[in-house]
Amino acid sequence: MPNMSKYKTPVPEQNPEVRARNFEEVTLGYTEELALAEAARCLNCPSKPCVSGCPVGVRIPEFIKKITEQDYAGAYEIIHSTNALPAVCGRVCPQERQCESRCVRAKNGEAVGIGRLERFIADLHQDKDQHDAIIKKTDSNHHKIAVVGGGPAGLTCAGDLAKLGYEVTIFEAFHVAGGVLMYGIPEFRLPKAIVQQEIENLKSLGVTILTNMVVGKVFSIDELIEQGFEAVFIGSGAGLPRFMGIEGEALVGVCSANEYLTRINLMKGYREDYDTPVLQSKSVAVVGGGNVAMDGARSALRMGAEHVYIIYRRSELEMPARKEEIHHAKEEGVEFLTLQNPVKILGDENGRVSGIVCQKMELGEPDASGRRSPVPIENSEYELPVDTVIMAIGTSPNPLIRTTTQGLEANQRGCLLVNESMMTTKQGVYAGGDAVTGAATVILAMGAGKSAAKSIHEYIQKKGK
């Protein structure tokens, strides 16, 4: 019998007051009992609208049916066949805008908790032996492929190619693979041990990962091709942080969200046993309304700040962050200052941040993005005393590869140009993820990595003939 409750089976979470001061995971995940209750809400409808909402095409009703049958290994096999990073996606995908937005149950109540169920299954198989027992390594076809960047796009592309038998080598610039999953998304939302386990699982598929390799510096793309890689996938992300260009951005205490989060997440600055220093703040302004802004704000609370403000120039309705992140941030005590825009950062006699001047805004006509654009209200400036300003207003693609590779074309924003099969303007060189789209989400990057893997496979097969 299907569970006809209008609401998702609630998922246990850490108490907001407690979790706002620790880096433990916020959402604890379903128990078997809860997962079975939620899986029973799926009507297994024949049209499967949810699947069309998934950038990597997870066969959602099929894996949920396996859960109802308590065949968890079967559910894992189905998910993993199209999604190389299920434990990650179950936690960070904006499901409300993808699979769950198309669920028929959402027409009268809440959608099936697809993300929560995906996470439940993935977490059951985090153990390497369990993973390896279900997911088998494919025999090598002796074709070598290079993947530049070990983030979501690169990992997915590598995983899919490895499943087809390709010998894949990932070149990662940092000392550890994972990209934004390691440096950007905080531990309390995506535990790093889980990311590393997913990467270990890719290694058991035969993927080689070389860290400390900045392609464009240590090797050029052409040198990779000379080394015998028959195709290259560029998934180097959108790493360059934007600043606003307002007065005071060079003051001590102003940093990009990238820097703040990298120090805390990748470099584990929140832990006493790591050397990495992090700004010690009492009062923090985070500028921006996306997931990165929420991550920065919630991290600042956990680092001990007394006041953390989100400053966003539109209204909450236009915020690009996941609903859950906004909800969690509010629960934890982040103060939202919407329809406000910083115009100047103030400093004290030592060049340290002492405040931020904001201007109030109102919403005007919709702009190119379809969202109503903010219009400044004259003479509405006021001063907010803060000692730290974190800029989370977006990032642009890194020019390192583009500027060191001949024949690789990009648009005005620095995004690599690709055709419908994800090939760049250079033969045999593919690209996807933020390097092509500009800053977007983990799952869209994964979808791009997946499409590119398919195209690379077709390219190599054609070449062989």
Partner 1 sequence: MFQIVKKRILNPSVTWMEVTAPHIARKVRAGQFIIFRVDEHGERVPLTVADSNPDAGTITLIFQIVGCSTMKLNALQEGDSILDLVGPLGLPTELPEAAKKICVIGGGVGCAIAYPQAKMFHKAGLDVDVIAGFRSKEIVILEEEFKQNCSELILCTDNGSYGRKGFVTNALQDRIDAGISYDTVIAIGPILMMKSVCELTKKYQIPTIVSLDPIMVDGTGMCGGCRVTVGGKIRYACVEGPDFDGHQVDFDELIRRNGVFREREKECRMMQLADNKS
Q: Which of 73, 164, 214, 337 binds partner 1 (CB under 8 A)?
A: 214
Sign of the dihedral defined by the CA atoms of residues 262, 268, 271, 274, in that order: negative
154 binds partner 1, rule: CB under 8 A: no
Query: Which among 60-68, 96-104, 242-250, 376-384 is the span making contact with partner 1, rule CB under 8 A?
Result: 242-250
Q: Which of 51, 73, 252, 337 binds partner 1 (CB under 8 A)?
A: 252
Residue with smaller CB distance to partner 1, 350 or 412:
350
Q: To the nearest whole angstrom, how small is the minimum distance from the Cβ of residue 212 to partner 1?
A: 4
Q: Which of 33, 129, 139, 275 binds partner 1 (CB under 8 A)?
A: 275
| Beta bridge partner(s), residue 286 | 310, 390
DSSP string, 249-261: TTSBTEEEHHHHH
Q: What is the DSSP letter of 410?
A: B
Q: Which of 128, 137, 175, 323 binds partner 1 (CB under 8 A)?
A: 175
Q: Are 162 and 138 in contact (CB under 8 A)?
A: yes
Q: Which of 53, 94, 186, 241 binds partner 1 (CB under 8 A)?
A: 241
Q: To the nearest whole angstrom, how small is the minimum distance from the Cβ of residue 388 to partner 1?
A: 11
Q: How far apart are CA 325 and CA 322, in angstroms?
A: 5
Instruction: Burial-class residue 7 by CB neighbours within 10 Å (0-12, 13-18, 19+).
Output: exposed
**CA 28 → CA 34, 122, 307, distances in Å?**
12, 13, 26
Residue with smaller CB distance to partner 1, 110 or 249:
249
For partner 1, the binding residues in 373-412 under the rule CB under 8 A are 398-400
For partner 1, the binding residues in 332-351 under the rule CB under 8 A are 350-351
Mark residues 120-149: x for contact with partner 1 by CB under 8 A, - for none: ------------------------------
274 binds partner 1, rule: CB under 8 A: yes
Q: How far apart are CA 24 and CA 271, in angstroms?
A: 12
* Total number of residues shown for the chain: 465
Q: Are 398 and 236 in contact (CB under 8 A)?
A: yes
Query: Which among 47-55, 93-101, 140-148, 213-221 is the span making contact with partner 1, rule CB under 8 A?
Result: 213-221
Helix axes 72-82, 60-68, angle to 10 degrees: 170
Q: How far apart are CA 178 and CA 403, in angstroms?
A: 24
Size of the site for partner 1 (CB under 8 A): 39
Q: How far apart are CA 112 and CA 106, in angstroms?
A: 8
Residue with smaller CB distance to partner 1, 258 or 340:
258
Q: Which of 33, 139, 273, 378 binds partner 1 (CB under 8 A)?
A: 273
Neighbours of 272 (CB within 10 A): 5
Q: To the nearest whole angstrom, how small is the minimum distance from the Cβ of residue 91 to partner 1?
A: 23
Q: How far apart are CA 254 and CA 284, in angstroms?
A: 10
Q: How far apart are CA 143 and CA 200, in angstroms?
A: 22
Q: To the nearest whole angstrom, how small is the minimum distance from the Cβ of residue 156 to partner 1?
A: 21
Q: How far apart are CA 288 and CA 296, in angstroms?
A: 10
C-alpha closest to that of 49 among 98, 115, 117: 98
Query: Which among 46-54, 128-136, 173-181, 325-333 is the span making contact with partner 1, rule CB under 8 A?
Result: 173-181
Residue with smaller CB distance to partner 1, 197 or 395:
395
258 binds partner 1, rule: CB under 8 A: yes
Residue for token pair 């590119």: 452
Segments in 303-342 forming alpha helices (H)? 323-332
219 binds partner 1, rule: CB under 8 A: yes
Query: Which are the contacts of 317, defined by CB distance < 8 A and separation ≥ 6?
Result: none
Residue with smaller CB distance to partner 1, 54 or 182:
182
For partner 1, the binding residues in 441-460 under the rule CB under 8 A are none
Residue with smaller CB distance to partner 1, 137 or 175:
175
Q: Which of 240, 337, 357, 363 binds partner 1 (CB under 8 A)?
A: 240
Q: Which residues bind partner 1 (CB under 8 A)?
A: 173-175, 183, 211-214, 217-219, 239-241, 243, 249-250, 252-253, 255-256, 258-259, 262-263, 267-268, 273-277, 279-280, 350-351, 398-400
